[in-house]
Structure 1
């Protein structure tokens, strides 16, 4: 992990993805995830939906 990488809490991920707590824990297995990884996931999903 690089210096300055933002780490998100479960509630922050819940808010960004509009998912419930259980769904988020299923996705990340109770770990914090880097914000760029979440951004990549969101972008990929949006691109898939637009196709």
Structure 2
């Protein structure tokens, strides 16, 4: 089921905020976080990883 652009952006923003909160918690607690990327070739994993590490 495809979402329209507005819904997609709203979900993406919530997920990005959750990721930043996880990063802040990790730094605050001196912990580590492991993120696993699964998907077929050309599924966009490289681009997602690049955006996370920039």
- Bigger relative contact order (CA 8 A; separation at least 6): 1
State if a TM-score over 0.5 links the two structures: no
Q: Which has the higher strand share?
A: 1
Structure number with greater Rg is 2
Which TM-score bucket, shorter chain as reference? 0.3 to 0.5
